[in-house]
């Protein structure tokens, strides 16, 4: 149902996003999109770029009187730091970045031609699109949040701050783990009939595609590998007041590729940023002699903001599955279809 594209380079004129398939009649407040963009820029450990850019969205198409028309919505986020043509060439790849694979793939002679698009600056467009997904889902009471679980293997607030401070002092970077929770998601989103329609595979693809994310789990995740089935599967109960319900949620809200009506719980690991102020060994791409990796302006830790990007990615997947299930033309018709569905499954 939903299709989207993003475009733009880190130091180009701006980031552009186009969302097709959002229903007509949805009220869109640009301030809500801007709030999500601000959240993406926050968090202890962010770099100087966040002090330069004050991301604000400009909605170029798809709305009239602040309501969607059912036509593609185009979003623009302008870059203040927009001097791509004036920036120096980059000649030593950063281990852990797209630099060397991108150089080999496209045949460039300047790594900047890779890093400008491979940069996580592109996630500003993802967050803007996800804000639209959240606005739609909020019409049905669905809320998506994220939480930082650990940084550098430490899970207390004070300990995480200390890890980031240590990385700053050592001219290093540090990663961590975050969780995304989607509440009030109805049973029935996604399908088991084809692999590309499974809700879990769609969520996995969306989250793992975020730059720097290296692992993904739903519910108990890797914990399933060390337990018996009797210990981890969620028993099913029924009452006239509640209908079907569970007392546990190890499945993380998805069974057989379909949402089961419980809270969707996702976890992912964000690796340390690849740009180090004390750079690792690399090779000069022209002379092939040993060199230190390039140093670009970057962050120390982005686990918190990665969670915000993951919220956006999750919102787009859930909005897509929702529109697939209940129709995608007019918000009023979707609400009527949803109400009828809830009535049916309440008495199933």
Q: Which two tokens stand for residue 328?
A: 């995608």
pTM for the full predicted model: 0.96
> 268: part of which helix (H) or strand (E)?
strand 264-270
* Longest CA pairwise span in the chain (Å): 75
pLDDT at position 49:
57
Instruction: Give the residue carrying structure tokens 């552009």.
Output: 16
Is 94 exposed, middle or buried, given 0-12, 13-18 or 19+ CB atoms closer than 10 A? buried
Rounded-to-integer distance, Cα 310 and Cα 180, Å: 7
Which residue in 197, 193, 251, 190 sits closest to 221, CA to CA? 251
Contact status, residue 201 vs residue 192, Cβ threshold 8 Å: no
Per-residue pLDDT of the chain (348 residues; tens, 9 = 90+): 899 999 999 999 999 999 999 999 999 999 999 999 999 998 888 766 555 668 999 999 999 999 999 999 999 999 998 888 899 999 999 999 999 999 999 999 999 999 999 999 999 999 999 999 999 999 999 999 999 999 999 999 999 999 999 999 999 999 999 999 999 999 999 999 999 999 999 999 999 999 999 999 999 999 999 999 999 999 999 998 888 999 999 999 999 999 999 999 999 999 999 999 999 999 999 999 999 999 988 899 999 999 999 999 999 999 999 999 999 999 999 999 999 999 999 877
Q: Given CA atoms 10, 19, 75, 336 in this order, what sign does their dihedral have?
A: negative
pLDDT at position 347:
77
Q: Which two tokens stand for residue 49?
A: 């770029």
Rounded-to-integer distance, Cα 310 and Cα 126, Å: 9
Q: Which domains does the chain have, with CATH numbers?
A: 3-346 (3.60.150.10)
| CA distances to 19, 173, 226 from 221, in Å | 31, 26, 10
pLDDT at position 52:
65
């Amino acid at each position: 149902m939903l299709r989207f594209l993003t475009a733009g380079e880190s130091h180009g004129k701006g980031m552009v996003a186009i969302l097709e398939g959002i229903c007509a009649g949805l009220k869109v407040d640009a301030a809500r999109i801007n709030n999500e963009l601000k959240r993406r820029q926050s968090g202890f450990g962010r770099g100087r770029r966040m002090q330069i850019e004050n991301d604000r969205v400009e909605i170029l198409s798809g709305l009239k009187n602040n309501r969607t028309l059912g036509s593609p919505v185009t979003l623009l986020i302008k870059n203040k730091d927009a001097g791509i043509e004036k920036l120096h060439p980059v000649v030593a790849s950063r281990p852990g970045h797209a630099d060397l694979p991108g150089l080999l793939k496209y045949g460039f002679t300047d790594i900047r031609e890779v890093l400008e698009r491979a940069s996580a600056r592109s996630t500003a467009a993802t967050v803007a699109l996800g804000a639209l997904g959240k606005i739609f889902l909020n019409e049905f009471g669905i809320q998506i949040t994220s939480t930082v679980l650990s940084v550098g293997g430490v899970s207390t607030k004070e300990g995480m701050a200390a890890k980031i401070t240590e990385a700053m002092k050592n001219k290093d970077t540090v990663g961590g783990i975050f969780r995304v929770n989607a509440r009030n998601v109805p049973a029935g989103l996604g399908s088991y009939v084809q692999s590309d329609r499974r809700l879990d595979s769609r969520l996995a693809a969306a989250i793992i595609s975020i730059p720097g994310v290296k692992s993904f789990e739903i519910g108990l995740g890797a914990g399933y590998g060390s337990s018996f089935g009797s210990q981890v599967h969620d028993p099913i109960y029924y009452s006239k007041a509640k209908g079907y319900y569970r007392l546990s949620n190890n499945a993380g809200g998805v069974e057989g590729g379909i949402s089961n009506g419980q809270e969707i719980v996702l976890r992912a690991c964000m690796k340390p940023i690849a740009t180090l102020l004390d750079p690792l060994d690399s090779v000069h791409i022209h002379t092939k002699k040993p060199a230190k990796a390039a140093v670009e302006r970057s962050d120390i830790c982005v686990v918190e903001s990665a969670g915000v990007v993951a919220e956006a990615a999750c919102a787009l997947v859930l909005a897509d599955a929702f529109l697939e299930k209940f129709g995608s033309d007019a918000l009023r018709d979707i609400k009527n279809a949803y109400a009828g569905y809830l009535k049916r499954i309440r008495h199933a």
